[in-house]
Structure 1
Amino acid sequence: MRSGTRLPERSFTLVLWLVALAFAGFLIGLGSLVVGDLPQVERRYTLDQFLDRPQAEASADALKRIRRELDDNRRRAEQAQLALEAARSASEAARETFANWLKTRDSTQRVDQDPGLVARTEQLDGLKAAERAVEERLEGLARTDLDLSHRAETAEAADAERRAAAQEKLDAAERGQELRVFGYRLALTLPLLALAGWLLLRRRHTRNWPFVWGFALAAAFAFFVELVPYMPSYGGYVQYGVGAVATLVVGRAVIGALHAYRERQSAAETRPDEERRTEIAVDQALLRLAKKVCPGCERPIDLANPEADFCPHCGLGIYARCPACDQRKSTFERFCYACGHRAAEAAAPGA
């Protein structure tokens, strides 16, 4: 590919692009730290901040008291259960003893006149009454346990309702905080992106172009990469809304640029041939010719045809004869490659 760029200039350009990338890398690192630390300007919310503190403490104390009573009642129930088992064992043993005694007693004696039989019967009745008393105490403890459990469930349900209401307030506060932090990030990155766009439009061809491109790359990374993960969702409305607006803005800008480009090209094609060539830089023209497109209208042309000296689309002169040696050469080349004759318009602006 033919080009008017000197070989050392290409090396310098490569080094300057490395400088631009390094500058962009440092700016990206700095921007990542700043964007990541922006949430620290907001205080962190907790659930306790949205609870009625006196009511919550009273409810917690009441629930602790009910649970302690539940634990005490269940321990007493366990002790009563052990006492009931002991009473049943004693009653069962006494009945077995009484049954064995009856087998050995004289069958001719009258029951109502037998003092031993009466005493043993009274003893069995006493054991049965003690067993029943333990059962009644155990039933009372069970009723108390049921009542305490119901009270605990009621207190827990009320506490859960209060915490659910506080959680809704916490979620709303966090959503507002998230939106504010996103606004901080957007207020930081959007001006950088706008400044980068302005620099690219106005300063990308200056001697400091590596820093312009480095800053532009860093600003684009901060806006499109660093900002997107922090974009609030709210069910996707914000993300899809921002995406639709951004697409609309970019689409309108591209459409405007396309129409402006077509208007410029149409206006350029009406001007004289030599005037149009002076507005096209030599390197740009040779680069387009290497791609087999017209340097003026950028439409494809057949460069292999030795008789095709003009663009068939816009009429721009592509090739001409050298006035010194009559060799066919590009009209954008400064010197004839056959005889070295300098082109008359080499000193014109844009050449």
Structure 2
Amino acid sequence: MRFGTRLSERWFNAVLWLVAFAFAGFLIGLGSLVVGDLPQVEHRYTLEQFLDRDRAKVSADALKQVRQQQDDNRRASEQAQLALDAARSATEAARETFANWLKTRDATQRVDQDPGLIARTDRLDALKAAERAIEERLEGLARSGLDLSEREIPVRSASADLYAAAQQRLDAAERGQELRVFGYRLALTLPLLVIAGWLLLKRRQTRNWPFIWGFALAAAFAFFVELVPYLPSYGGYVQYGVGVIATLILGRAAISALQAYTERQKAAELRPDEERRTEIATDQALQRLAKKVCPGCERPVDLANPDANVCPHCGIGLFEHCPACEHRKSTFERFCYACGQTSAVQPTPA
């Protein structure tokens, strides 16, 4: 709670903060669209752009020819296998017929069937020879298939080497493009962050402070949130390197701020009590007293003790008695609660 601030002022400040956040939200939305669309300023690369077209065409034609021959060899092998199966079936049927005929001949003992025996034997031999010819044809096709497979290996390897080299060039080009697009994004967001920092340092107390804070929030969001997913990745070195640099900068700034604050506090504690009290805003002083800390040095004080009128750490006056009614009041309050008498020393207004 802020003491001494008018209720209407608090409501107006709340509305102005809503304006600041709304302004920041619209700027963040606009910035995200701009940052997301920046890659469109670069054309997209394809693998074919980095491929040696002449060598790739020769390799593709050779590979296509080998594979066409492999397909022809495969179809011929399938047809020969079907023919072999049919020949084996015919041979098996002829063999069964010959076996039945032999049984009949043995049963009748007909001598006139000897020419038939020779003819049937010749037929079985012819079927077996046809079957063997098909087998030899299949063996030849298998050797041809093996030769084609061996021919395919170097052709396929050469084609793979061409595409691998093209992929390497494509990756290098995309990395360069990624760095350029990141440079575009950085060139857009970093100046906004610098401008926002300058505005906060120089203009944050002006009447247009909601727009300044909104712009600063949007610039910080664009730089620290929207830019992070687009950081180039080299095994995490860039991310961790940026983190180390940012930590060093922020840590150094925090250490310097802490040392400056400590020095200011030490210098302030050496100055007269009344001079110090006049430089502390009333609202700020009352807020710190509500937290049971000294408004001057911000160290804890025992405010419940009725005799604790002075900070035991820095010596600044915390409470005094009203010169008109002797009522105990804060030295930072302008008027006495009991009688309304104005204090002799006027604190700085909020």
Does the alignment reach a TM-score above 0.5? Answer: yes
Q: Report the secondary structure of 2:242's partner residue.
A: helix
Shift of 1:18: 0.8
- Hey, what's the Cα distance between the residues in 2 that align with 1:254 and 1:16? 29
Task: Give the corresponding residue for 1:5.
Answer: 5
Which residue is 1:163 aligned to?
Answer: 163
For residues 254-269 of structure 1, the aligned pairs below 5 Å read 254-269=254-269
> 1:2 touches 1:290 (CA, 8 Å); kept in 2?
no
Write the distance in 2 (CA, Å) between the matches of 1:306 and 1:94.
Answer: 129
Q: CA deviation at 1:159?
A: 2.1
Partner Cα distance (1:318, 1:187) in 2? 52
Matched residue, 1:252: 252
Question: 2 CA distance for matches of 1:5 and 1:323?
Answer: 25
Shift of 1:25: 0.7
Structure 1: tracts of 5 or more residues without a match: none
1:283 aligns with 2:283: yes
Matches within 5 A, 1:175-324: 175-324=175-324
CA distance in 2, matches of 1:338, 1:23: 45
Counterpart Cα distance in 2 of 1:238 and 1:123: 84
Q: Which moved more, 1:257-266 or 1:100-109?
A: 100-109
CA drift of 1:349 comes to 5.8
Percent identity, aligned pairs only, is: 76
Which deviates the most, 280-289 or 19-28? 280-289
Give 1:325's aligned residue: 325
- The 5-angstrom pairing of residues 109-124 of structure 1 reads 114-124=114-124
The 2-side partners of 1:141 and 1:332 are apart by: 108
SS at match of 2:320: strand
Alpha-carbon displacement from aligned partner over 1:197-229 (angstroms, at most 9, x marks no partner): 222222222221211221121122112221112
- Change in CA separation of 1:2 and 1:130 when aligned onto 2, cut-off 3 Å: closer
- Decide whether the 8 Å contact of 2:284 with 2:295 is kept in 1: yes
What is the rounded CA distance, in whole Å, between the counterparts of 2:266 and 2:198 in structure 1?
Answer: 26
Q: Which amino acid aligns with 2:246?
A: A
State whether residues 282 and 348 of structure 2, in contact with CA within 8 Å, keep that contact through their aligned partners in structure 1.
Answer: no
Shift of 1:14: 0.8
Q: Do the aligned partners of 1:282 and 1:333 also contact (CA within 8 Å) in 2?
A: yes
Residue aligning to 2:43: 43
Task: Output the CA distance in 2 between the equivalents of 1:262 and 1:198.
Answer: 25
Give the secondary-structure state (helix, strand or coil) at the position aligned to 2:85.
helix
Q: Name the amino acid aligned to 2:145.
A: D
Aligned pairs for 1:62-101 (under 5 A) are 62-101=62-101
Give the structure-2-normalised TM-score: 0.92
Question: 1:100, CA displacement in angstroms?
Answer: 3.3
State the alpha-carbon separation in 1 of the partners of residues 292 and 174 from structure 2.
59
Comparing 177-186 with 68-77, which one deviates more in the overlay? 177-186
Distance 1:252 1:131 in 2: 92
Structure 1 residues 232, 2: CA separation in 2 closer, same or farther (over 3 Å shift)? closer
> Structure 1 residues 2 and 218, CA, compared in 2 at 3 Å: closer, same or farther?
closer
Separation (CA, whole Å) in 1 of partners of 2:317 and 2:109? 148
CA positional deviation for 1:107: 5.6
1:304 CA drift (Å): 1.7
Comparing 247-256 and 146-155, the one that deviates more: 146-155
Deviation at 1:38?
A: 1.4
Alpha-carbon shift at residue 109 of structure 1 (Å): 5.2
Deviation of residue 278 (structure 1)? Answer: 2.0
The 1-side partners of 2:329 and 2:95 are apart by 133
Report the Cα offset of residue 247 of structure 1: 0.6
Distance in 2 separating the partners of 1:255 and 1:58:
67
Deviates more, 1:96-105 or 1:33-42: 96-105
The answer on 1:53 being equivalent to 2:69 is: no
Give secondary structure in 1 for the equivalent of 2:329.
Answer: strand
* Cα separation, 1, equivalents of 2:90 and 2:198: 100
Structure 1: distance between partners of 2:249 and 2:43: 35
The total of aligned residue pairs comes to 348
The Cα offsets for residues 215-251 of structure 1, whole Å up to 9 and x where unpaired, read as 1211221122211122222111111111111111110
Q: What CA distance in whole angstroms lies between the structure 1 residues aligned with 2:4 and 2:349?
A: 13
2: CA distance, partners of 1:276 / 1:343: 15
Q: Which amino acid aligns with 1:67?
A: R
- Paired with 1:198 and 1:325, the residues of 2 have a C-alpha distance of 50
What's the CA shift string for 1:295-333, capped at 9, x where partnerless?
A: 111111122222222111111122222222222222221
Alpha-carbon distance in 2 for matches of 1:65, 1:338: 108
CA distance in 2, matches of 1:336, 1:204: 34
71-80 or 123-132, larger mean C-alpha shift: 123-132
Residue 215 of structure 1 aligns to a residue whose secondary structure is helix
Instruction: Look up the equivalent residue of 1:139 and give its one-letter code.
Output: E
Shift of 1:153: 3.4
Point out the more displaced range, 234-243 or 289-298.
289-298
- Give 1:46 shift: 2.0
The CA distance in 2 between the partners of 1:303 and 1:101, in whole Å, is 131
Cα deviations by residue, 1:105-136 (Å, 9 ceiling, x for unpaired): 4768599xx54443333333222222221111
Give the SS at the match of 1:320.
strand
Unaligned runs of 5+ in 2: none
Matches of 1:204 and 1:291 in 2, distance apart?
Answer: 27
SS at match of 1:234: coil
Mapped to 1, the partners of 2:317 and 2:211 lie a distance apart of 37
Work out whether residues 324 and 341 of structure 2, in 8 Å CA contact, stay in contact via their aligned partners in 1: yes
